A and B are shown apart, each in its own frame.
Chain A
C-alpha cells in the first residue's frame, strides 16, 4: 500500500495511507500513532487513513522526522493494541431526523431502527469533540448524507448517522449529522479515570429502549 509523508507546518507531518474507509487501514493508522508516541517524539492523531505526527523541530530535525515516520509507517501493521471491548449504548429512537432518514432510505421507521440497532460497529477514532467517536459501518441501506445546513445546536446524547457512519454527540454543539435517537450515557466526563466512554478499536452496539 502506498504511503505518503507530507509537511504539516514545521512541527508536524501528515502520513497518508490510501483514501478510503477500511477497518484494516484505520487500525494500521492507530499502530503508526502508537509507535510514534512510544518513540517519544510527540503526540499523534490517527484518523481513517492518515496520521498527524507532531514533533519539536528544534529537537528532531524535520528531515530525520520524515525518514523515521516513513520507516515506522512501513513497519506498522494493524494489530489491536488493546483488547476490543463491546459497549452497549441504550438508545431511544426518537430523533428529529428519524422519519426523514427512513423515508430517504426507503425503509419503515421500524426497519431503520432494526438496521441501526441490529449491527455491531467498530470505533474508528475520536475527534470533532471530546469523546466524539466515529463508528461504522452502517447497513448500506441507510442513506444519510450530512445535512446541507448543519444545526446550530445538537443536544448531548444525540445518536446520529451520516455517510455510512454513526456517532453520539458528547456535548451540546453545532452538528451536521442526522439525528435518529438519543442516549442517557455520558460520553465524556473529565472526572472519570478514562474520560471518553469509547476508545478507538472498541466494538459498540445500540440497544433499543
Chain B
C-alpha cells in the first residue's frame, strides 16, 4: 500500500489513458505531461502501462508499507526524504519512511511513480482518472492505494533521466489536418507570433492569448480530435488540447503539437509565452524514438 498523508491541491491516479472509450465520447484523460509520466515509470522500472500519481500543487506527502524505488518527474519538482533529492531520479524509500514532494514555483504537473505501479481497480478498462464524469476521484489524505509487486532491486536508485527544457517557449508542431481552412497569412501569424498562456488553462486544454488567427470558416463538421491538436475557435485565440479533451470537436485544427513536446505545453504557467515552429512528421517520429532510447538505456 501507498498511504497518502497529504494530497496537495489535486492528486489523481493516471495511467497512459483510456483510449478504449473514445467512441462513447469519453475523453482519454491520462497524464497532462505524457513524457514526464513515462519517464517516472521508466525510472522505477515499471511498464509504460503502469499507473502513477499526477500531482498539482503542494504539499504531497506519503509513505509506502514496504521498501520501494520511487521517482518524481515533472517541471520544477524534487523529493524530500532524509535529504532533498532532485526530480527525475530513482530513489530508494525505506518501509514506512515519510516522503514529501517539493513543488517549486514553476511547478505545474508532477508525477510520482512507485515501483510495482498503482494497482487500483480499473474503470472502463483504465486507471486514468477523469473527474468530470466521476471516473476515479481526487486523492485525499488518509487514502491507501494498492501497489503491485516490486520487480526491481534497490540498486536501481540513483539512475536519472534528463528533464525536457521546460523553460523553452518554443514547441514543434505538424501543420494540419485543417491547415487549408486558414489563409497563408493566418498560418504565418500562427507560426511567427508569441502567444501567452491563459489562466483558464487546465487538464483539458492550454488556452492562449495573443494575435488572432482567423480561419476562413469558423466551424467545421464536428470531427474526432486528439491531445496536441491546436483548435482555433471563431474568436481566433488558439487552444491546445490536452489529456482531458473532448473526443470530438467542431473547430478547425491548424496544427498538431508533436507528442514529444506536448508535455512542455501542458507545463507552461499562466502568463508564460509559447511559440510554434513547424516540423515534418519524420522529425516528430525521430523525437519519439529518442525518448524510447533514453528509457531503454536505464531499463
Q: Residues on A close to B: CB < 8 A?
A: 6-12, 14, 16, 19-21, 33, 42-52, 54, 57-58, 62, 125-134, 170-171, 173, 188, 190, 195-196, 199-200
Residues of B within 8 A of A131 (CB): 24-25
Q: Are A196 and B281 in contact (CB under 8 A)?
A: no
- How many inter-chain residue pairs (CB < 8 Å) link A and B? 140
Residues of A within 8 A of B26 (CB): 130, 195
Knowing A47-B223, A130-B24, A190-B134, the reply to whether A10 touches B285 (Cβ < 8 A) is: yes
- Closest partner residue, chain A, to B288 (CB atom): A58
Residues of A within 8 A of B228 (CB): 9
Q: Are A9 and B258 in contact (CB under 8 A)?
A: yes
Q: Are A8 and B21 in contact (CB under 8 A)?
A: no
Q: Residue B226 at the A interface, CB < 8 A?
A: yes
Contacts of B14-28 to chain A: CB distance below 8 A: 19-27
Contacts of B243-263 to chain A: CB distance below 8 A: 246-249, 253, 256-259
> Which of B23, B221, B248 is in CB contact (< 8 Å) with A20?
B221
Residues of A within 8 A of B133 (CB): 129-130, 171, 188, 190
Q: Residue B284 at the A interface, CB < 8 A?
A: yes
Task: Give the size of the chain B interface in residues (CB under 8 angstroms).
Answer: 42
Knowing A33-B23, A47-B221, the reply to whether A10 touches B132 (Cβ < 8 A) is: no
> Which of A9, A45, A48, A190 is in CB contact (< 8 Å) with B247?
A45
Considering the chains assembled together, what is the distance between the CA atoms of A10 and B285 in angstroms?
6
Closest 8 CB pairs between A and B? A127-B248, A45-B224, A52-B224, A10-B284, A9-B256, A126-B25, A6-B177, A14-B177
Residues of B within 8 A of A196 (CB): 24-25
How far in angstroms is the closest Cβ of chain A from B101? Answer: 29
How far in angstroms is the closest Cβ of chain A from B222? Answer: 5
- Closest partner residue, chain A, to B24 (CB atom): A196
Considering the chains assembled together, what is the distance between the CA atoms of A50 and B26 in angstroms?
18
